[in-house]
Amino acid sequence: MLTNRILLYLLMFLSIQISCKKGEINSEISNSDTVQKDSAETATIQSSRETSEEESKSFVISCGSGCAMTYNAESVTGKLPDLKVKFKVEMYVDEQLNDTYNEVYLFEYNQSNEIENIHLEGKKDNVLKTLMPDAQRSFKEFAEGLIKKNSKDSPVSVSETSTFIYNKKTDPNTAAYQTMGTSSVKGLQKYSCNQNKIRYVALPAKSDVQLLLAPQDCGDFQYRYYLIAVTNKKVSGELYVEGEWYEPDNEEEKEVRTFSIDRNFNIKVTIKTPDSSIVENYVITDDGKFVKM
């Protein structure tokens, strides 16, 4: 029955492609929950630590001209790092409801509670790799909402058996970003490339110091991240912790930085060049400063 439905949708999708004047279909995803949009605009560091009851419960995937599918979450079961979500899926063609059915997806997170795998129950294909980029982004945003609802004190909780809060290379193409309005934190505009929002990966807070890992989107290199400390609604410290740098036309002399943060909030930054490897150690003070040891 599921196979027949998939074949029907494929035929419908091909029919739309043939009739399309431009000969191609661009996938676009829009978030259908107005509450989430408003919440994102006014989000603050304090509210990002709390469980929000206004997280998005649905999202829309546009599958071409006149075709769209709405995913409505009906139930969430399980316990981090593995959550199961039952969706009621409504398919619309030319704004008319064409079909309704249920799908169950498994959301699998790593030790830092970042989404790594989302797949249809009974299937192995990771939608974060097989779907179009916009569709991947929509599922990631929904996954971030699940973290907020299932964590006690922070969007990211740390396992009692985990040695590190963060200890991996950040992939700019698959990182599970959240967004925040720059007006909510003094000094945050510096990292936004003159935009009204910044993208960031939320890390656990140290007491009253919230930590954000923010990409440098408007720099010369796609792969560059700053660790930002926020205290009392203002940026209190920054540290370039991950990324790469090299002189133009001299990539052979590339400098690569990686970092880790352990459960005691000790930061280790490793700086490698073709000729050397240096380790720098930092601690975070109570007022949100990064101090080199």
Model pLDDT for residues 89-139, shown as the tens digit of each residue: 988 888 788 888 999 999 998 877 889 999 999 888 999 999 888 888 889
CA distance 8 to 12: 6
**Which candidate, 158, 202, 156, 157, places its Cα nearest to that of 179?**
202
Query: CA torsion angle for 238, 244, 247, 252 (degrees, to 10)?
Result: 150
Buried b (16+ CB within 10 A) or exposed e, 3-35: eeeeeebeebeeebeeeeeeeebeeebebbbee
φ, ψ at 115 (rounded to 5°): -65, 135
Indicate the helix (H) or strand (E) that contains 150: helix 133-150
Residue with the larger pLDDT of the pair 17 and 64: 64
**Which candidate, 166, 201, 251, places its Cα nearest to that of 48?**
201
Provide the mean pLDDT of the chain: 76
**Which candidate, 23, 103, 21, 24, places its Cα nearest to that of 59?**
103
Indicate the helix (H) or strand (E) that contains 199: strand 197-206
pLDDT of residue 245: 78
The rounded percent of the chain whose pLDDT value lies above 70 is 74
Can you list the positions of beta strands (E) in 29-114? 29-30, 58-64, 67-79, 82-93, 96-109
Q: How many CA atoms lie within 13 A of 176 on its CB side?
A: 25
Residue-wise pLDDT tens digits, 25-60:
333 334 434 334 444 443 433 333 333 333 447 888
Structure tokens, 285: 């003070």
Q: CA 204 from chain center: how many Å?
A: 15
Which residue type, as a one-letter code, is found at position 282?
Answer: Y
Q: What is the mean pLDDT of residues 221-239?
A: 90
pTM higher than 0.95: no
Residue with the larger pLDDT of the pair 287 and 44: 287
**Which candidate, 26, 9, 10, places its Cα nearest to that of 65?**
26
